[in-house]
Amino acid sequence: MSGLRIGFKGTLILLAGGASRRMGTDKAMLDFGGEPLACRIIRRLCASGEWEPLIVSNNIVRFASWGWPTVTDRWPGAGPLAGVCSGLQASAHDWNLVVACDMPFASLELATALQQRAVDTSVDISIPQRLGRRHPLFGCYHRRCLPVAERLVKSGQRSMGALLAAVAVTVLEETDFPPAVQSERALFNMNRPQDYEQALEWDRYEGRVKKEDLW
């Protein structure tokens, strides 16, 4: 069970507009277990129905056959902050789960904990932190962040840190993650081919463990 309040609805803003230069190919379309990586992330996070997917991309034609709403990044090439702006503007909900398209083990349990922390602390953004590093590309963002984010993008800012510094933020420490969350994998993002291979190996191992449990 997700743990969100009954009737909760939010938007999953999947950022799929990056250039994927270090990977050398479109990360959103990488094969992962027989499906594109972006599909896997949406399936993992939207299966329970609370989060409704919205894809932000520079090339919406790629996703046309998937059946999920897709919007064009209003400032292509301007980084993830611009993608967040585009997603918040198109979102139909106050609360939005912003997720990069290169996180194959994105966790619904962690997303739920972040959203609950945001509501409990009356902030604008709730993000996780592990080993001293904040992860703004897996976090809950209230739509009231939009005017601030737009102002930053229009002034030439590309840093997510600039937005975090300008609004009310709460940080969920790793020690407060739900017990079911494997923190290293839940926040693992793939930038290079080596990262992709590591993720595939983890996924193969999990598959073997599940089969052994059935025996």
Q: Name the binding residues.
A: 15-17, 27, 73, 102
- N-to-C CA span, the chain: 26
Q: Which helix (H) or strand (E) holds 147?
A: helix 146-154
Rounded Cα gap, residues 163 and 153, in angstroms:
10
For 114-146, b/e burial (b = at least 16 CB within 10 A) is bbbbbbeeebbbbbbbbeeebbbbbbbbbbebb
Helices then strands, counting H and E runs in the chain, come out as 7, 10
Other beta carbons less than 10 A from residue 206's beta carbon: 13
Question: What is each CA distance from 69 to 64, 92, 104, 126, 158, in whole angstroms?
Answer: 9, 11, 20, 24, 25
Rounded Cα gap, residues 26 and 163, in angstroms:
26
Binding residues for Mg(2+): 102
74 and 86 in contact (C-beta within 8 Å)? yes
Binding residues for GTP: 15-17, 27, 73, 102
User: Helices 80-90 and 146-154 sit at what angle, rounded to 10 degrees?
Assistant: 140
